[in-house]
A = this chain, B = another copy of it.
Amino acid sequence: MKFEAVTIKDIAKALGLSTSTVSRALRDSYEISPETKKLVIEYAEKINYHPNPIALSLKERRSRSIGVIVCEIANSFFSQVINGIESIAYNNGYNVIIGQSRESFDREMLNLQYMTSRSVDGLIISISTETHDLSYFKELNQKGFPIVFFDRIVDEIPTHKVIVDNYKGAYDAVTYLAKSGYRKIAALANSASLSITRERLAGYRAALADNSLEEDETMIHYCEHGGMIAQEVEDAMKELLKSKQQPDAIFASADKLTTGCLRYLKTHGIRVPDSMGVIGFSNTDLTELLDPPLSVIRQPAFEMGEIATSLLLQLIESKRPVKDFETKVLTTELLIRGSTKEQQQFENIKV
């Protein structure tokens, strides 16, 4: 079932004009007499004419739309970023099309190819955990196709990027745990290949060192699928808990990991924050409603989306190839709630 749209040709025929004249009349060209314009515009209105954007895209080689690829839209952080992206995009007359990789490289590439070949004018992306082969990105980038990376960025590709200070976010959170008296702080990390994992773990390690806590590799567990697979988080938690270094707190480095961690502790009857402190990166707006309310490192997601889009539009609308790129680094917010607590007694025992 196809359905027929009305074209400029229909108008031309009906009015005894040429398509050029109709086109010009609709675009309000000075070359067309006011009467003809009026005639054309009114008739177009009447038969409900809308220009065919596909034909326009073909002709103008641009579509006034931008693509966004994230691993999962159900994730609060990403949906907030998308809202930021849409707000700027719509204000500038751009449409936004959204794709999910679900942490799969293949699906990421599928989306990417679909979008680029459909002439999105640019792309905003946070790469999947599986993405190691960057050749397609490099190729696009070298051809001058506008890309902005956010959150999970890649160093090798010269373009604009938007992130938060992951190092500091993690450092502050882990330092807070240490100052509160937690002594064995484990880390539940995302795939080791991601920029955010590296940065956050670096902050974690630095905080341990600065608080004279020993670092222990058995206290760090990675989730290769970023918690997309529930089992994976469970396994990691199980490993963590049966390590000889019984942790008394967990630092989780992603939204899904933080909630997954809490879920595990809850179902296994481990009391938070008494037996185990929990702090993690999360942008869920349900954190206050959780039991216990989660202490989180929160990212300015909406703002990240806005900034990424502004940068992308700069690239798209620039006449000359852009050569100097910037990496915007925003600051995180540490929100202390009920999943961590000050353990005076620990400090006392120590001292």
Chain A interface (Cβ < 8 Å from any Cβ of B): 1-5, 48, 50-55, 57-58, 61-63, 65, 72-74, 76, 79-80, 82-83, 86, 90, 95-100, 102, 107, 110-111, 113-114, 117-119, 139-140, 143-146, 259, 262-263, 266, 284, 286, 288-293, 315-316, 318-319, 321-322
Contacts and interface: CB of A to CB of B under 8 A. Distances in A.
Nearest to A96: B99
A3 B144 contact: yes
B100 A97 contact: no
Sorted from nearest, which 3 A-B pairs have the closest CB atoms?
Answer: A291-B291, A74-B79, A3-B143
Contacts of A73: 73-74, 79, 82, 98
Nearest to A86: B100
Contact of A289 (B144, B259, B321): B259
B286 A2 contact: no
A264 B90 CA distance: 33
Contacts of A321: 1
A62 B2 contact: yes
Nearest to A67: B97
Contacts of A113: 50
How many identical subunits does the complex contain? 2
Contacts of A53: 114, 117-118
Contacts of A51: 117
A174 B30 CA distance: 67
A55 B52 contact: no
A291 B263 CA distance: 13
A332 B74 CA distance: 21
Nearest to A142: B3
Contact of A54 (B54, B110, B111, B322): B54
A95 B109 CA distance: 13
Given A2-B144, A73-B98, 4 more contacts: A50-B113, A52-B117, A54-B57, A96-B99
A86 to B, nearest CB: 7
Q: Which of A79, A102, A266, A292 has the most B CB atoms < 10 Å from its CB? A: A79
Contacts of A289: 259, 262-263, 266, 290-291
A170 B95 CA distance: 38
A3 B86 CA distance: 24
Contact of A58 (B50, B55, B117): B55
A48 B1 CA distance: 33
Contacts of A54: 54, 57-58, 63, 117-119
A291 B90 CA distance: 38
Q: Which of A54, A291, A293 has the most B CB atoms < 10 Å from its CB? A: A54
A280 to B, nearest CB: 13
Contacts of A119: 54
Contact of A315 (B1, B50, B82, B110): B1
A237 to B, nearest CB: 14
A287 to B, nearest CB: 9
Q: Which of A2, A289, A316, A321 has the most B CB atoms < 10 Å from its CB? A: A289
